[in-house]
Structure 1
C-alpha cells in the first residue's frame, strides 16, 4: 500500500508525537546509529580515489533516497502509521518556525557550546546520546542561521535554478560540474565559504553543529531535509519526463572517473540496488 509523506507543518500533534516516539525507539534499539555509520562510511570527496556514492557524485539522490527508505522501514516497524515528513526550507525559514518546536525537533543550540537544550533530542532529556561521531561530542549541536557569519536558507528561486536544468548530471560527475540538476541541487558551487553553499549544502550549513559533518545523520532534521530534497527530485522527474539518471554507462578505463562513480544500472553500495531501480517510487510512497 502506498503511503504518504507530509509537510512537517501539516502534522497533527498526535502525528508529531508518534514520529518522535518512533525515532527514539529506533535509537534505543541501536538501529539508528547504524544509519550514522553508513553515512560516515560513504561520505567520500572528489579528491579521494575511491568510489563516491553519497556525495559529490551522480548517486547523491538515489543513495539518499535508499537511506530514507531504510530509516522509514525501521520507523514503521515501530509504528506503521509513521512516515518521514519533509521540511520545505524555502517557506519555513526562521529558527522559531517548524520543525524547531519543543514537541518535535527542539530548538537552537545554546551560545556557549551549541548544545541543544530543548525538545526530545536534547542530551539532558536522556534519550539521544551521540555515540557515532567524527568528534567525541556526545550531545546534539546546532547553530541555526550560522550566528557568527549569518546566512539565509535557499529560496524558491534557488530551487528553480536547479529544477529548470533538464540534464540529470554531466561529466566529470563531481562537485565541479556546472551543468546538470544533481549538482545544482546538491549545492557545490564556485568560490569559497557561504557563496559556494547552495540548496542542499546551504541547508546543512544553516542548521550548523553536527549537520556540517559526515555524522550529520545524528540530527533528526537530516531526514526532514532529505525528504524535501527527495521531493525536489520527484518534481524534476515530473517536469522532465524521459530524462533519467546519468551516467548511463560506467566511465571507461581511460577516464579519470573510472571506478569512482555509479552508473545507472550498477549496484549502489552498501545495498543490492541500482539507481535505475530507485527512480520510480510511486508504488511505495507519495508526497502530499
Structure 2
C-alpha cells in the first residue's frame, strides 16, 4: 500500500506525537545509532580514495532515497501510521517556525555551547544521547542561522535554478561539476565559505551543530531535510521525464572517476539495489 509523506508544517498534533515517539523508540532500540554510523561510513569526499556513494557523486540522491526508506521502515515497525515528514526550507525559514517547535524537533541551541535544551530530543530529557559521532559530545547541538556569522536558507529561486537544469549529472561526476541537477541541488559551489554552500549543503550549514559533517544524522532534522531534497528530485523527474540518472555506464578504466562512482545499473552500497531501481518511488510512497 502506498503511503504519504506530509509537509511537517501540516502535521496534526497527534501525527507529531506519533512521529516523535517512533523516533525515540528507534533510538532506544539502538537502531538509530546504526544509521548514524552508516552515513559516516559512506561519507567519502572527492579527495579520498575509493567509491563515493552518499555525497559528491551522482548517487547522492538515490543513496539518500534508500537511506530514508530504511529509517522509515524502522519507524513503521514501531508505528505503522508514521512516515517521514518533509521540511520545506524555502517557506518555513524562521528559527522558531516549523520544525523548531517544542512538540516536534525542539528549538535552537543555547548561546554558550549550542546545546539544544527544548523539545523531546534535548539531552536533559534523557532520550537522545549522542553515542556515535566525530566528536565526544553527548548532547544535540544547533546554531540556527549562525548567529556570529549569519547565513540564510536557500530560496525558491535557488531551488528553481537546480530544477531547471534538464541533465541529471555531468562529468567529472563530483563536487566540482558546474552543471547538472544533482550538484546544483547537492550544493557544492566554487570558492570558499558561505558563497560556496548552496541548496542542500547550505541547509546543513544553516542548522549547524550536529548537522555539520558525516554524523549529521544525529539531528533528527536530517531526515526532514532529506525528505524535502527527495521531493525536489521527484519534482525534477516529473518535469524532465525524458532524462534519467547519469552516468548510464561506468567511467572507463584509466579515467580519474573509474571505480569512484556508481553507474545506473551498478549496485549501490551498502544495499543490493541500483540507482535504476530507486528512480521510481510511486509504488511505495507519495508526497502531499
Structure 1 and Structure 2 fold alike (TM over 0.5): yes
Which deviations, in whole Å up to 9, do the C-alpha atoms of 1:90-131 show, x marking residues without a partner?
A: 000000100000010000000111000000000000000000
Q: Which runs of 5+ in 1 are unaligned?
A: none
Measure, in 2, the Cα distance between the counterparts of 1:201 and 1:146: 14
Please state how far the C-alpha of 1:242 moved relative to its aligned partner.
Answer: 1.6
Please state how far the C-alpha of 1:213 moved relative to its aligned partner.
Answer: 1.6
Measure, in 2, the Cα distance between the counterparts of 1:213 and 1:175: 15
Structure 1 vs Structure 2 CA RMSD: 0.4
Partner residue in 2 for 1:152: 152
Which deviations, in whole Å up to 9, do the C-alpha atoms of 1:114-172 show, x marking residues without a partner?
A: 00000000000000000000000000000000111100000000000000000000000
Measure, in 2, the Cα distance between the counterparts of 1:250 and 1:44: 18
TM-score by length of 2: 1.00
Measure, in 2, the Cα distance between the counterparts of 1:84 and 1:241: 26
Measure, in 2, the Cα distance between the counterparts of 1:34 and 1:160: 34
Measure, in 2, the Cα distance between the counterparts of 1:28 and 1:222: 18
Q: How does 1:1-288 map to 2 (within 5 A)?
A: 1-288=1-288
Which deviations, in whole Å up to 9, do the C-alpha atoms of 1:30-61 show, x marking residues without a partner?
A: 00000000000000100112100000000000
Moved over 3 A (4+): none
Q: Which runs of 5+ in 2 are unaligned?
A: none
Measure, in 2, the Cα distance between the counterparts of 1:115 and 1:96: 16
TM-score by length of 1: 1.00
Measure, in 1, the Cα distance between the counterparts of 2:254 and 2:246: 18
How many residue pairs end up in the alignment?
288
Please state how far the C-alpha of 1:254 moved relative to its aligned partner.
Answer: 1.7
Measure, in 2, the Cα distance between the counterparts of 1:286 and 1:178: 30
